[in-house]
Copies of this chain bind each other. A is one copy, B any other.
Amino acid sequence: MSSALLLPVPLDRAYRLLNHGPVTLVSSAHAGRDDVMAAAWAMPLDFMPPKVVVVIDRSTFTRELVEASGEFVLNIPSSAQAVGVLAAGSGSGREQADKIGACGFERLAATQVGAPRIAGCLAWLECRVLPDVENQRRHDLFIAEVVAAQADAQVFRDGRWHVDDTPGSTAPRTLHYVAGGAFLETGRAIEVGPDRR
């Protein structure tokens, strides 16, 4: 982690950070409090300007902070952080003075928003909520514009993910949530076609 090379991701490639459906951590902050929650229900919505959608339940403390600040970060954790991700998916930040710390995470300042990034993740999408009261009220669905993005160059560079399938490789991988405390790690690469969009 300390040796990770974190590079900005061009905004027109930011959707690719989420294309393969990894689980995310939503981090947020407002008025001296911050929070983190796990969200498997996040995906790209548009290419440029890049937009995302994420479901943030109305019962969560994250929801309060996101509504108050209009900002959040979608962090894409490494499989090495699976225990912390599960902790972030349970228990509320409302009852914990420092849920981010309790999950074993450290904060990293974001570049464009007030919400902290979670250190050790493989990529980050810094987001500003686009006002849409109807989707928020009816579906807990937040639409946001990605205003900055970064990734660990070891696994995401030249605008796409790179998976090291060399036997014995210890290169980090992203996580996908199943249920019941079970995750699936991102697996081997399958190349079937020429370059396109």
Contacts and interface: CB of A to CB of B under 8 A. Distances in A.
Interface of A: 16, 19-23, 40-46, 51, 53, 55, 79, 82-83, 86, 89-90, 134-135, 139, 141, 143, 159-161, 163, 173, 175-197
Given A19-B176, A40-B44, A186-B187, 5 more contacts: A43-B53, A53-B53, A79-B190, A176-B176, A180-B197
A161 B196 CA distance: 30
A42 B45 CA distance: 9
B45 A43 contact: no
Contacts of A173: 187
Contacts of A46: 139
Contacts of A45: 41, 55, 139, 141
A179 to B, nearest CB: 5
Contact of A181 (B20, B143, B180, B192): B192
A181 B161 contact: no
A190 B184 contact: yes
Contacts of A53: 43, 53, 141
Contacts of A40: 19-21, 43-44
A117 B193 CA distance: 24
A19 B179 contact: yes
Contacts of A23: 20-21
Contacts of A141: 45, 53
Q: Which of A20, A46, A159, A182 has the most C-beta atoms of chain B within 10 angstroms of its own C-beta?
A: A20
